[in-house]
Amino acid sequence: MSYSFEYIDIILLAMIAGFIFLRLRGILGKRSGFETKVKAEFKQQFIDKITDKNIEKENFDEKEQKMFLDGAKIAYETIITDFSDSDNKLTNSKSLLGEKIYNQFEEALNDRKTKGHFAEITFIGINSALIKEHNKIENNLEVTVDFISELITCIKDKKNNIMSGDSKKIKKVYDTWKFSKDTRSPNPNWLVTDIIT
């Protein structure tokens, strides 16, 4: 009789553990480069976060900076995860990249495809995003942002062997990205026009 109670205890504990796991997964989630693409409506979210007049008058206050950074963080995550997709295409972030950066990313993706490699990137999160500088040069508004993020990243070959990186180790990444916007352009999007190393 006591054995049957032990089995019931084990089943109950397993059910509780499963419930806790599902709750944590629902709350914390999991973000990786191979998840479903970020929704298309994001393309309209990182639009006109700060007005031309505010930068021109150097009135880029705390509230305006926070609004801008909210969009910049989404753009950063979208581009990083898009670059890691196994299809070797910049499907979701093309409209967020300036011509120079887009060409650099395309070149890297084509090189990876030629070698038969693919990137696995799990985006853990952004630790911080700070505006380093902002200015207006002729008709261009420019905002430079320092990002500190955490990623799990590795490059694998066709046989799933790790060529570089570590599929289990969280890596802290320091990036400086420049966002620009042409005030004359009908396109209201801010574009990533430079990645400073």
User: Could you read off the pLDDT of 14-31 as tens digits, one per residue?
Assistant: 666 655 655 554 444 444
The DSSP code for 147 is: E
> What's the CATH code, domain 31-196?
3.10.450.240
Specify whether the CB–CB gap between 181 and 80 falls below 8 A. Answer: no
Q: Is the dihedral of CA 41, 46, 47, 48 positive or negative?
A: positive
| Euclidean distance between CA atoms 140 and 174, whole angstroms | 25
| Euclidean distance between CA atoms 50 and 59, whole angstroms | 10
In 22-161, where do the E strands start and end?
A: 118-137, 140-156
Q: pLDDT at residue 133 above 60?
A: yes
| Euclidean distance between CA atoms 20 and 7, whole angstroms | 20
pLDDT at 88: 65
| Euclidean distance between CA atoms 86 and 119, whole angstroms | 7
The DSSP code for 189 is: B
The residue that leads in pLDDT, 44 or 175, is 175
User: Could you read off the pLDDT of 55-112 as tens digits, one per residue?
Assistant: 444 556 788 888 899 999 999 999 988 887 666 678 788 889 999 999 998 898 888 8
